[in-house]
Amino acid sequence: MKTYVVGNWKLNFTVGEASIYLHKLSKSLPNYRNLEVVVAPSMLALQPLSLQVDRRRIKLAAQDGFYRDYGAYTGEVSFSQLRGLADYAIIGHSERRYVFKEDDKTIQKKVAAALRNKIKPILCIGEIESERAFGETADVIKDQLLGGLAEVADDNLSKVIIAYEPVWAISSVKGAKLASPDEISEVINIIRQTLSDTYGPESAEKVSVLFGGSVSPSNAGAYLTIPGVNGLLVGGASLILHEFIDIIEIAKKVQA
């Protein structure tokens, strides 16, 4: 199974800055076997970067997409328009859930639309601090996971990547704190058991699960050695070239 390092640039970098960063990153990376490096630029930068990127070294992800393929939806970009530009799409990120108020029904439509258009969805799930404090983590994780996968058939499950990103551990959230390996392992087990119960053990084993939440070079190795974790979703550290490269190199060493 592949190891993934996904950099989510969020609302950062102009088109020119993104192009320069991608050029420098590509020059720094060899062709890795079974290690997938992915960056998610802004929607504005995605198209020009798709003409520049060396897909043998780096894949592109969209940060979002709209679930209708076409129509009167001013300001939206559909997954059908992203087809051929992005290999992956981040769906259900906590900022989409809690800032833009996306619900599980909207997210499940986006997952289905991505798959329909040959784009691999990275389905993000994770609890907020109060949900963890009240012992609701397992219920929240199961609801978000099964809600997002509601329109995914068994034969498409392996095309979906799950990213566990506890909201209380994201560096941009006020009062964020680092998640411990034990806390992460507990949720990874919940995710994998839920997938196994729903789709069967054989199908569940084919699903890649990532962790995201204040990932940095100092903790990447510890997170990647947690059983059941197949990669990392990196936020702030992916904006700093040398830190992102360090995380990629750590992932390669752990994989070896």
> Which are the catalytic amino acids?
93, 165
If you search the block for the tokens 């907020």, which residue do you land on?
128
Cα 45 to Cα 64: distance, rounded to the nearest angstrom: 13
H/E stretch holding 162:
strand 161-164
**Phi/psi of residue 56, each to 5°?**
-75, -25
Asked if 233 contacts 212 with a C-beta cutoff of 8 angstroms, the reply is yes
DSSP-derived secondary structure letter, 194: H
Smallest CA-to-CA distance from 98 within 165, 149, 161 is with 165
DSSP-derived secondary structure letter, 66: B
Distance of CA 149 to the CA centre of its chain: 15
Dihedral angle sign, alpha carbons of residues 90, 124, 214, 246: negative
If you search the block for the tokens 């993000």, which residue do you land on?
124
Cα 231 to Cα 208: distance, rounded to the nearest angstrom: 8
